[in-house]
Structure 1
Amino acid sequence: MPEIPALPSYASGISDVPLLGDTIGDNFDRTVAAFGDRDALVDREAGSRWTYRELAAEVNTLAHGLVATGIGKGERVGIWAPNRAEWTLLQYATAKIGAILVNINPAYRAHELEYVLNQAGVRMLVAAERFKTSDYAGMIEQVRPKCPGLEHVVLLGTDSWTGLRESGRGGDPAVLAGLQASLSADDPINIQYTSGTTGFPKGATLSHHNILNNGFFVGELCNYTEQDRVCIPVPFYHCFGMVMGNLACTSHGACMVIPAPGFDPKATLAAVAAERCTSLYGVPTMFIAELNDPDFATHDLSSLRTGIMAGSPCPVEVMRQVIDRMGMTEVSICYGMTETSPVSTQTRADDSVARRVSTVGRVGPHLESKVVDPETGLTVGRGTPGELCTRGYSVMLGYWEEPEKTAEAIDAARWMHTGDLAVMDEDGYVNITGRIKDMVIRGGENVYPREIEEFLYTHPDILDAQVIGVPDVKYGEELMAWVRMREGAEPLTAEAVREFCQGKLAHYKIPRYVHVVAEFPMTVTGKVRKVEMRRQSVTLLGLEQVAEQRHA
């Protein structure tokens, strides 16, 4: 008898719940009609809170203000700010009129800001004046002459923000209703930049349909209802905050709680306790900081039942403590990427702890996943490693104005190739085992070494540079630069490299370790062997025990 072929590494997400066909604005209005008197948004630092009815009034006023300023459907509005209520207001106001919200990473420096403003064609930029050590207003003034398409700059907390809102007061509701009615769920509504392997970030362009449904189904798998209150310490500029956080809440009538503008473990724990949050989000680094806070035991976290941990691999012991000490018995692990809105696989509330600490779950509702041989593109059998691919409603429209790069990522059958190595087991659960490319995930931030290498090449004493990820207890991975010096130059220290990068690269892109070498490990064909560099670095830095730590 012929041998029966192995079950293919393919899975589709079955669901009795249909996809939403709404635009974000229409879906938001349905929630307001159903749950108008319930809490919608709490900004702890500002001391502000809104019911859904109050939030809708603010959103509509801002939408009218955008229209009065001349912002129309398809035009790009940038947001450059840490987490605050105004971020959320702008997210829904732009969705109501069909303007495309461009998320700008608060850690960006001037040259990164300039690139994004020009590449996306941002017409209006809404920004905080400053945050921590970042002088946003100063950097905007620095790049503005080089951004001819940027017509309006609105700084939060200043007269320009007040003026934008005031210009929308008394707007005709029929005008806004007409604008909403002219929108399609398939229209682009959001551009999120991901670090690029060529040294420049790419703008993943997402539709109403992409992100509204992803937020909704992530919320469904967390069993959200209007009774839930979700603490969101993860950044809004990323899908984790604005999709899995905000859109998961508004599509269920749940309350969004902003504990602080940036992550602060004390503020997060205090917010959960004071607001009786039922769900808490974070990357493993955040949960580790919360669990290790000296005042952890003083906070009443008894309201928690669920939450999401994503962004980087979760150490097994951290997951167990989140369940045991924080009471998050239904905590969910999610896996995805910005290009897939973001979540592709997720653990379920009834999954065993073993599943939640050893896999990233199984494919989400209405989505497909497969694992393919990277060389042939053919689907491999269950239990065989290969590249993870995703298809369905969540796959982005494409990279903004970069069709060639879009075609490299999304094949003719609309499968998104993640670049991640994975294994799918007999039950469809996925384990991420590595990355085909050299991307480093540091504390939930995707970092592409090529971008940093190209910057290091600009140092007058560096002949060549290779950047790799090495294991790290706190961040999952940390950056290490191997450098070759020009003849006669003094060897560089890690401190000197950090000083060179300071203020020019986002903080999470600055290498922690530097190793000066005469030559890099090479293959016979002349390619740098980064796998060998990582192996040597683990020994060199004494990270053997960290490298052996088990992760989900």
Structure 2
Amino acid sequence: MTDTAHALSASRTLWDLLARRAALTPDRPVLLQGDRVLTFGALRERAERTAAGLYERGVRPGTVVAWQLPTRLETAVLTFALARLGAVQSPVIPFYRDREVGFALRESRAEYFAVPGVWRGFDHGEMARRLGAKGVFEAYDDLPDGDPAVLPAPPADGTSVRWIYWTSGTTSDPKGVLHTDRSLIAGGSCLAHALRLSADDVGSMAFPYAHIAGPDYTVMLLLYGFPAVMFEHFALPDALAEYRRHGVTVAGGSTAFYSMFLAEQRKRPDTRLIPTLRLLAGGGAPKPPELYHSVVREMGVQLTHGYGMTEVPMITMGSPDDTPENLATTEGRPPEGMRIRIVDGEVRLRGEAVCSGYLDPSQTAEAFDEEGFLRTGDLGHLTDEGHLVITGRLKDVIIRKGENVSAKEIEDLLHTHPAVGDVAVIGLPDAERGERVCAVVERAEAGRRLTLETVTSYLRAKGLSPHKLPEQLELVDALPRNETLRKVLKYKLRERFSEG
């Protein structure tokens, strides 16, 4: 991390961080979208005017403001306006509908709710009225505006809870996760430190800005002073023109994004997909080692993968100067200040980037151990060099006839089969075995026909122990995923195939 970035990472609040960056490089771009460019200085100025408009509407320090907005320049302006006021923000993924949105509004007790109006054919304003939301206002093209002279002093305390994020839906019920400005700055600093970026880079945001990755990535932009391209709607190959137009050097998001870029590269293997691209980076879901090797070999770029969650936006991150073996098989190393402890195989965490808990106090009590370490529910171990290896989820350990079976181990092996596009391995109730191993396979476009016999024969040839072999195979056109980082929703697969 550069001296400037290191100094900025000590900022007390997100507003303090923006103000200091804007003073250093006011005319450098921070966000790019189509023909529009927002500089660091303009972001600060527009956010202050929007903060004044919100203040005149009654938003005060501590006021809970929910927002369900797409990845746009205006969304970033609004979030920094709320940070300027010291309001409590509750971002909601724009793809969520009545059930999830109503839950978030009720649990957070939101006093205001910003929506995009009609977006991608859905009327968010009508949904807000249907749910009885308070203080509904549109924040798409136009934002509240006012004279910054009316504003009180910016918040000085970065350790008060000012963010309520919602777990991303890989389980059926979301949790309200409490964050502070300092926890988000710490998470973004970890990402910035690991990726070894510079002011000459151009990043990209292909994920919902309302995801915890939104502030994580924005903090990195503020620390290093480089821009990112925002995608309101990400789809390949349509988005490639924007990557090329702006000369993006760093792209990614999660494992699913790597796979999408790789699939596009394979359509024209002799032509660089994005000529300026040098690094794919992301996290949020397990990365099969074979995918790492395929990206590096076929796309000619480096791939660094990390480990994070809504509760801790960045825990570990692979670094471009790590060995290929570490980049392929581990999630990278933790930054200074992040303590990782392995207890009975479970990864536990303590550090500034860790959330303050949950909206529900009982969930907080259950999530933290007696020494203040967060129980992640992930299984893993640390290598001798300090790299973290994630081996699965506690809930993904399938107990078959009293023997533990790792779903991730089987998934990693099946990812190397040419007929497998993607795969999720789950445990299903079984009267005889306790649980049986079920592989749910998303077929590759040109893949051969798969049967349970061909799958088990392949895994035997790879050296998998017989007691871990799948006893059930399900073929699907597409695995169910959430709308943020495209994580597979295993609970939906268990619901669907339990009676199989």
So what's the TM-score if we normalise by structure 1? 0.71
Write out aligned runs for 1:148-547 (5 A).
150-157=134-141, 162=142, 164-166=143-145, 168=146, 170-172=147-149, 175-176=150-151, 178-180=152-154, 182-194=155-167, 199-240=172-213, 242-258=214-230, 260-293=231-264, 294=267, 301-329=274-302, 331-340=303-312, 342-373=313-344, 386-400=345-359, 402-437=360-395, 474=421, 477=424, 520-522=429-431, 529=434, 531-534=435-438
Cα distance, 1:523 vs structure 2:
7.8
Cα distance, 1:318 vs structure 2:
2.6
Contact 2:272 2:299 in 1 (8 A): no
Cα distance, 1:119 vs structure 2:
0.4
Cα distance, 1:111 vs structure 2:
1.8
Contact 2:177 2:311 in 1 (8 A): yes
* 1:404 partner letter: S
What do residues 192-225 of structure 1 show as CA deviations (whole Å, max 9, x unaligned)?
A: 1115799531111110100012112211221223
* 2:430 partner letter: P
* 2:353 partner letter: S
Call closer, same or farther: CA 1:546–1:112 in 2, change over 3 Å: farther
What do residues 441-474 of structure 1 show as CA deviations (whole Å, max 9, x unaligned)?
A: xxxxxxxxxxxxxxxxxxxxxxxxxxx9996855
> Structure 1 CA distance, aligned partners of 2:375 and 2:137?
37
2:82 pairs with 1:82: no
Query: Percent of counterpart pairs with the same letter?
Result: 25
Contact 1:290 1:296 in 2 (8 A): no
* 1:188 partner letter: V
Cα distance, 1:122 vs structure 2:
1.1
Cα distance, 1:365 vs structure 2:
2.3
Q: Secondary structure at the match of 1:344?
A: strand
Contact 1:369 1:391 in 2 (8 A): yes
Cα distance, 1:93 vs structure 2:
1.3
2:8 pairs with 1:22: no
Call closer, same or farther: CA 1:40–1:266 in 2, change over 3 Å: same
Call closer, same or farther: CA 1:266–1:369 in 2, change over 3 Å: same
Cα distance, 1:547 vs structure 2:
7.8
> Structure 2 CA distance, aligned partners of 1:413 and 1:60?
41
> Structure 2 CA distance, aligned partners of 1:76 and 1:108?
19
How many residues end up aligned between the 2 structures?
A: 431
> Structure 1 CA distance, aligned partners of 2:220 and 2:136?
31
Q: Secondary structure at the match of 2:163?
A: strand
* 2:365 partner letter: A
What do residues 265-319 of structure 1 show as CA deviations (whole Å, max 9, x unaligned)?
A: 2244222211112211221212222222246866662322334131212233332
What do residues 133-173 of structure 1 show as CA deviations (whole Å, max 9, x unaligned)?
A: 543233222212xx4xx22332524xxxx3x433x2x331x
> Structure 1 CA distance, aligned partners of 2:453 and 2:47?
51
Which of 52, 57, 76 lines up with 1:69 in the alignment? 57
Structure 2 gap segments, 5+ residues each: 399-406, 442-449, 464-500
* 1:171 partner letter: P
Q: Secondary structure at the match of 2:436?
A: helix
Call closer, same or farther: CA 1:303–1:388 in 2, change over 3 Å: same
Contact 2:165 2:177 in 1 (8 A): yes
Which of 99, 111, 120 lines up with 1:123 in the alignment? 111
Cα distance, 1:422 vs structure 2:
0.5
> Structure 1 CA distance, aligned partners of 2:219 and 2:354?
17
Q: Which residue of 2 aligns with 1:457?
A: none
Q: Secondary structure at the match of 1:350?
A: coil
Cα distance, 1:183 vs structure 2:
3.0
> Structure 2 CA distance, aligned partners of 1:363 and 1:478?
28
> Structure 2 CA distance, aligned partners of 1:43 and 1:296?
28
What do residues 100-153 of structure 1 show as CA deviations (whole Å, max 9, x unaligned)?
A: 221112221212211110100111111122444543233222212xx4xx2233
Contact 1:301 1:327 in 2 (8 A): no
Call closer, same or farther: CA 1:208–1:310 in 2, change over 3 Å: same
So what's the TM-score if we normalise by structure 2? 0.78
Call closer, same or farther: CA 1:536–1:21 in 2, change over 3 Å: closer
> Structure 2 CA distance, aligned partners of 1:198 and 1:37?
43
* Greater RCO (Cα-Cα under 8 Å, separation 6 or more): 1
The RMSD of aligned alpha carbons is 3.2
* 2:228 partner letter: M
Contact 1:35 1:226 in 2 (8 A): no
> Structure 2 CA distance, aligned partners of 1:140 and 1:208?
28
Structure 1 gap segments, 5+ residues each: 1-15, 374-385, 441-467, 483-519
Q: Secondary structure at the match of 2:381?
A: strand
Contact 1:302 1:327 in 2 (8 A): no
Q: Secondary structure at the match of 1:237?
A: coil
* 1:337 partner letter: M
2:27 pairs with 1:37: yes
Contact 1:129 1:136 in 2 (8 A): yes
* 1:280 partner letter: A
Cα distance, 1:387 vs structure 2:
0.1
Call closer, same or farther: CA 1:130–1:324 in 2, change over 3 Å: farther
Contact 1:41 1:85 in 2 (8 A): yes
Contact 2:424 2:439 in 1 (8 A): no
Q: Secondary structure at the match of 1:36?
A: coil
